């Protein structure tokens, strides 16, 4: 069975994400289930194709005052949809805990990308598993407050 045949359909993923978003907002940034104990933030961006507002939850680490997020999609062969949204529309809104602010998303490259990925994977070792599952270079973004 190839990976894509195991991917949940879009409605299931949207429902899954909405439950996380609702729990995040109801509990000041804390969630249960598979993300319990992880640092999670919400990013609101504009859809690259649709132009509609899209909110996605994502695990983060910090690099100084910057937030680091990884477009791993669990090691899938393709990037998550939000990757393309950030490339097309890098001005985003970020929610961390009870704080909400505007930020600029930058797709890192080269040594900086490698350093940030390694730093992230030290805190969340499953990202090394995602890296091993795919032949693509998994994108690493930094989110900087505006």
The CATH number linked to 95 is 2.30.110.10
Number of domains in the chain: 1
68 in a domain, yes or no?
yes
pLDDT tens-digit series, residues 10-34: 677 678 889 999 999 999 999 998 8
- Of 59, 54, 55, 9, the residue nearest 34 (C-alpha): 59
What pLDDT does residue 3 have? 37
31 in a domain, yes or no?
no
What pLDDT does residue 8 have? 53
Residues of the chain with pLDDT under 70: 1-10, 13
CA distance 14 to 135: 26
Backbone angles phi, psi at 93, to 5 degrees: -110, 135
35 in a domain, yes or no?
no
Sign of the CA dihedral running 136, 21, 121, 144: positive
What pLDDT does residue 5 have? 39
11 in a domain, yes or no?
yes
Q: Which domain holds residue 13?
A: 3-24+40-145
What pLDDT does residue 6 have? 47
């Amino acid at each position: 069975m190839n990976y894509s045949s195991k991917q949940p359909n879009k409605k299931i993923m949207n429902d899954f994400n909405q439950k996380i978003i609702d729990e995040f907002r109801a509990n000041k940034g804390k969630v249960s289930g598979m993300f319990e104990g992880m640092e999670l933030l919400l990013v609101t961006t504009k859809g690259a194709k649709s132009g509609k507002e899209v909110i996605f939850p994502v695990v983060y680490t910090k690099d100084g005052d910057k937030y680091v997020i990884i477009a791993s999609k669990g090691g899938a062969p393709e990037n998550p949809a939000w990757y393309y949204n950030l490339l097309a529309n890098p001005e985003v809104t970020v929610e961390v805990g009870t704080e909400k602010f505007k930020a600029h998303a930058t797709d890192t490259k080269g040594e900086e990308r490698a350093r940030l990925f390694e730093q992230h994977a030290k805190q969340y070792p499953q990202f090394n598993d995602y890296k091993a599952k795919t032949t693509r270079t998994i994108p690493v973004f930094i989110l900087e407050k505006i």
